[in-house]
Amino acid sequence: MGAANKNSKFQQFCTGNTCSFTLVVIIAAVIALSCVIIFTDKDLREKRQYDPSDLEWWKKTIVYQIYPRSFKDSGSDGIGDIKGITSKLDYLVYLGVGAIWISPFYKSPMRDFGYDVANYTEIDPMFGSMVDFDELMNETKKRDIKVILDFVPNHTSNESKWFIESRKMNPEYKDYYVWADGKRKGKTYEPPNNWNALKFWLDKGVAGFRVDAFKMAFEVKNISLDEDLPKLKQGEKSVFTDEQNHSYTTNLPEIYGVISDWRKMFEKYKEKDGVSRFMTTESYGLSSQMVNKYYEAGSLPFNFDLIMKVNKSCDGLCFKTIVEGALESLPSDAWPNFVMGNHDRPRVADRMGTDMIDVMNMLLLTLPGTPTCYYGDELGMKDVYYTFDETQDPYGRNYGPDGYTRFSRDPERSPMLWDTTSKAGFTTGTPWLHVNPMHSRINVKVERHTNRNTHLKVYKKVSEIRKLPSFQNPDIQFAYTDDNFLSYIRTAEGRPKYLVILNVDTASKIGSTADFSKEPVSSTRGEVVAMTGTVDLAFGSVIDLTTQIKLQRGQGLVVKVHH
């Protein structure tokens, strides 16, 4: 079996004992994008009347990613499940979450922990049953929480019925995959177009999809071509396939046509009930031109700038450049989004430091557009170290004892911390990965019920504030910014003006002051409506914006500006 051509269905990839088969298109989703205009302090286009009631649901909510294996075990097998998610929906209501994105729970041999799908319309018994899923849908509907599923159109398991029947050359399935020896040119095939798998879940009431690894859905027509090797220093050798330049198997132009077709199908569902369906696509390493093509075709490509470009050396000016650049590069009718963490990247507490947890969450929830949060980041959960013998992630284990720490994703997939008990309330059995040793003080129960302004309480307060019309407007105006401070105004026509101030200083430990009263704030006084955990101010206190604000690294405020 060789590389697939431009219009092929699958391509086999094997690493160690893990095999997956690329599928051009099985399932998808579409977004109905309304016309919005993004403003920055460099963009002087005339503001227009703004009514938040006109916004589709996915433009007004936090998307909260749940990695089901690690969220909550309803039994004692040590693995999180669908019933466990259902049991914690009231926590999500408390948190202010209006949509959950659930990573794969489909039937799978679990050689890639669910991303190697064997059946797209069955639930793996590890996670429960279809009855459990129907109950989850019923309970989320009661709480007005939308459900977004993770779909994998790029590859399947070799235990998929499609693959098994295709290998037999069953006429119905033989062209789902390209069978070639890798030495001859491929043929031209049409991608499948009935998408029964997608419709199956839409008919069950899901509100949208996150599409995994979609940039690899097509490959070049000439399957004999070899991809470029990475540029290495003299004498250096690379053994990691992830370091190759996948120019023949990623970001081919055909993907935009598929997204457009998905959008048309989603519009038909919207015509029936008036509810837009959400789709976001995984899109690491895309140029702004490619990102814009995703938007134009009908998808919301994830913006990973806060994961990929921000680090501990990023000061206020650096943050401003990254955020401003992300917004200004979008088409005028594109709705922005930002992502702070996910199941494939180290947690924010590790990337930025524990002192930056609150300001990073405050940043995520007060920027324009739709924010996506990874479970546990609201608590300040940290990555957990696992020895090679403890490591479960097949991808990491493939690289052996010397390389697993570089590629294993187990550290950021550790169990959710619910309480102070020995297994953090995650399970009554033995957890599939041991819980964070710091769970006695970093957990939902402690952070929710203490008198302190904990990470969880900061997150909850800001999540309430971001529901205000001033924060649902895609307008942002940057205010005073320097090496220490990033600040900006969020407002809407006829609505109050809010000033967000974040100290992201990379070096100083003594704190900094600044005058924030000048344009676009244009006021000397404001009322504190949210603050990070260590700020020595009271909620509702009125402060002088010219001299009174002194913040240390990792401290932040949201201030309602007085006129």
475/489 Cα distance (integer angstroms): 9
- Reduced to 3 states, what is the DSSP secondary structure of residue 560? strand
Of 282, 324, 378, 393, which one is the catalytic site residue?
A: 282
Question: CA angle, corner 123, sides to 120 and 128, nearest 5?
Answer: 170
**CA separation for the pair 160, 291 (Å, rounded):** 32
Q: Which amino acid is at 56?
A: E
* Burial degree of 235 (CB within 10 A; 0-12, 13-18, 19+): exposed
DSSP state of 470: H
Tell me the β-bridge partners of 18: 15
Task: Kindly report whether the peptide bond that precedes residue 520 is cis, defined as omega within 30 degrees of 0.
Answer: yes
Q: In angstroms, rounded to a whole number, what is the distance separating the alpha carbons of residues 234 and 490?
A: 51
Strand pairing class (542-544; 485-490) = unpaired
Which residues are registered as beta bridge partners of 559?
Answer: 499, 528
- Geometric angle at alpha carbon 384, from 378 and 386, rounded to 5°: 160
Cross-strand bridge partners of residue 291: none
Among the options 81, 150, 175, 212, which is catalytic? 212
Annotation marks residue 212 as catalytic: yes
Contact 501, 515 (CB under 8 A): no
DSSP 255-276: HHHHHHHHHHHHHHHHHHHS-P
The β-bridge partners of 19 are: 14
d(CA 152, CA 134): 21
Pull the structure tokens for residue 299.
């998808």
**Residues with catalytic function:** 212, 282
